[in-house]
Structure formats: C-alpha cells, structure tokens
Amino acid sequence: MAEYTVLIIGDTDRWWTSMSLSERKEGYAQYARFNQALAEGGHTIVGGGELTSTADARSIPKGGGAVVDGPYAESVESVGGYYQIATDDYDGLLECCQIIAATGDGIEVRPNVDPADRPS
C-alpha cells in the first residue's frame, strides 16, 4: 500500500478571520464528509493535522540563519493542513479530494518516498 500526502492550500487565515462561525462549521462538515469518503473508499488516514495561522509561523532561511516571524516567502496561499493517506487507489483518493477542493481550498497530492527507494 502506497502512502500519499494531501496538502490543503489556500488562505489559511480566512478560516479564522473572515469566516463566520456557521461558515466554519459548514467547512468542517465537508472535511468530515471527506474523512467518511476516504473510509468508504478503502483509504486509511495514517496522520495529518490542521495548521494554525501563518502569524504563528517561524521560518529559518535556506542554509540556516536567524529565525524570523511568519512564513519565509510572501504568499497569498499557504499550507493550512495535511493528511497522510495509505491507499492502493490513487485515482479514488484524488476523487475524494474533490470534496475539500469544493470548500475553496486547493489540493496538492504527492506520493511519499518509499524508504526502500532511498539509497543506504
């Protein structure tokens, strides 16, 4: 079974600054629907989490250096959360991700590197 990372990309701060409580509840209901669709499709959530506001981020530049407040790069969109999914059905996983995309967030799905493929 292969593992994939589903990155949820968008204006992460909108969930906390511009959405009403009822809009957030509806959004979270869609994520619950996504979780249910994953289970029904035989996909297994093996990890993940929702990330806090970009205001809580700290960054370290390439090569090391001073820790700075906020994201390293200026961006309108950022990663707001992620899922780690184990599945044998990549296309089915992508279809389930349409549920999250309908909330207005972008989705990026990448296969995880299998440790057996790394040079030792």
Per-10-residue mean pLDDT for the chain, 120 residues long? 95 76 91 97 96 86 90 75 97 97 93 90
What does the alpha-carbon distance between residue 55 and residue 35 come to, in Å, rounded to a whole number? 28
Is there a domain that residue 120 lies in?
A: no
Number of domain units in the chain: 1
Q: Cα–Cα distance between 82 and 51 in angstroms, integer? A: 8
Q: Is residue 95 part of a domain?
A: yes
pLDDT at 61: 85
Domain of 14: which CATH number? 3.30.70.1060
Q: Count the Cβ atoms, other than its own, within 10 Å of residue 91.
A: 8
- 10 found inside a domain: yes
- Per residue in 30-41, pLDDT (tens digit) is 999 999 999 999
Q: Where does 1-120 show beta strands of DSSP type E?
A: 2-10, 44-50, 58-59, 68-69, 78-87, 106-111
Determine the structural domain holding residue 91 and report its residue range: 2-115
Q: Give me the pLDDT at residue 31, please.
A: 94
